């Protein structure tokens, strides 16, 4: 069994048919299909134009998740997270669960700090409903487009995530994003480089947070996850083994790069099983 625990519909040109074909080609049995509810003022316009379908004005809407999910319902686990500043955010997630069998909250990515009162209120509701939350953490590092914002940050800081985890002990958060993975090392490059490379130094906030919070997990997706695992291959392998109970195989794109690397590491069978499906099944069912 192989579960991709982070991907999106109509993303990088991948329609429902292309997504299922990619899953078949790569032996992926199920895929977590996530929305991104974001106002136009919060996303990088150029990035959105390159990755989203023409005319998309709100990131990746719930409608796209539902349409792609209906193409092969047995292959997808559906996710949705309303923006925390929507006045009806709580009503929206309750209705989505009741009407559409939403089983995940995500992607939770906004220019609102995780421990903002509105964010905490919504995170607690996710926990009450038994929805694991895929969160995106990104520091304001200069990278790519500077329109309409001068930099790109989402979720605030690791400190804000730490406080949210403490304030919402019954909510499972699955960490993702450059701001999370750059903190695998104890150096000071996390707020200066989007994807730091080179040897991992001891004392990283990322492993410390996994040890501190029983309600914190992480997915291995995107350039940020891949770079963190490969920048210091010996450390990366040890990290996967040490935190195997809290990590999920995930891509956030449609390629084979991460799995090619994981297979090359020849991990213990029990570690491989946890990463590739057991942890995901524990959080969101089969």
- pLDDT tens digits, residue range 223-257? 999 999 999 999 999 999 999 999 999 999 999 99
Kindly report whether the peptide bond that precedes residue 116 is cis, defined as omega within 30 degrees of 0.
no
Query: What is the per-residue pLDDT for 52?
Result: 72
Distance CA 171, CA 236 (A): 27
pLDDT class for 269, splitting at 50, 70, 90? very high
pLDDT digits (tens, 9 = 90+) for 25-41: 999 999 999 999 988 88
Structure confidence at residue 80 as a pLDDT band (50, 70, 90): very high
- Compute the residue count for the chain: 286
Instruction: For residues 44-48, give the mean pLDDT.
Output: 70
Per-residue pLDDT at 58: 66
- Segment 88-144, tens digit of pLDDT: 999 999 999 999 999 999 999 999 999 999 999 999 999 999 999 999 999 988 766
> How far from each other are the two terminal CA atoms of the chain, in whole angstroms?
10
Whether the CB-CB separation of 216 and 133 falls below 8 Å is answered with: no
Beta pairing class for 133-136 and 59-60: unpaired
* H or E segment and range at residue 146: none
> Which residues on neighbouring strands pair with residue 174, listed in sequence order?
134, 217
Backbone angle region of 101, left / alpha / beta, with phi > 0 → left and psi within -120 to 50 → alpha: left
- Residues in contact with 74: Cβ distance below 8 Å, sequence separation at least 6, in sequence order: none
8 A C-beta contact, residue 66 and residue 93: no
pLDDT tens for each residue of 151-167: 779 999 999 999 999 99
pLDDT at residue number 55 = 59
* Residues 261 and 233: beta-carbon distance below 8 Å: no
Q: Rounded to 5 degrees, what are φ and ψ at 121?
A: -60, -45
Report in angstroms the alpha-carbon separations of 110 from 7, 48, 70, 138.
17, 14, 27, 10
Cα 240 to Cα 40, 250, 285, distances in angstroms: 36, 13, 22
Q: d(Cα 250, Cα 93) in Å, to the nearest integer? A: 23
Tokens 């999370």 appear where?
180
């Amino acid at each position: 069994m192989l579960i991709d625990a982070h991907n999106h519909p109509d993303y990088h040109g991948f329609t429902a048919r292309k997504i299922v074909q990619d899953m078949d080609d790569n032996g992926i049995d199920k895929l977590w299909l996530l929305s991104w509810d974001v106002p136009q003022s919060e996303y990088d316009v150029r990035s959105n134009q390159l990755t989203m379908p023409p005319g998309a004005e709100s990131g990746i809407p719930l409608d796209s998740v539902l349409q792609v999910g209906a193409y092969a319902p047995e292959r997808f686990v559906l996710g949705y997270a309303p923006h925390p500043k929507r006045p009806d955010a709580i009503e929206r997630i309750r209705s989505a669960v009741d009407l559409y069998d939403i089983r995940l909250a995500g992607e939770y990515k906004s220019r609102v700090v995780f421990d903002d009162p509105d964010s905490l209120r919504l995170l607690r509701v996710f926990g009450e409903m038994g929805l694991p939350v895929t969160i995106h953490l990104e520091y304001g590092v200069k990278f790519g487009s500077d329109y309409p914002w001068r930099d790109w940050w989402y979720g605030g800081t690791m400190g804000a995530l730490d406080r949210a985890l403490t304030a919402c002990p019954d909510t499972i958060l699955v960490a993702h994003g450059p701001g999370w993975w750059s903190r695998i090392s104890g150096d000071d490059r996390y707020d200066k480089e989007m994807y730091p490379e080179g040897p991992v130094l001891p004392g990283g906030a990322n492993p410390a947070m996994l040890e501190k919070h029983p309600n914190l997990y992480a997915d291995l997706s995107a350039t940020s996850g891949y770079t963190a695992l490969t920048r210091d291959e010996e450390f990366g392998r040890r990290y996967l083994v040490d935190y195997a109970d809290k990590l999920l195989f995930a891509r956030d794109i449609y390629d084979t790069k991460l799995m090619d690397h994981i297979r090359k590491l020849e991990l213990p069978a029990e570690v491989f099983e946890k990463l590739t499906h057991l942890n995901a099944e524990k959080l969101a069912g089969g």
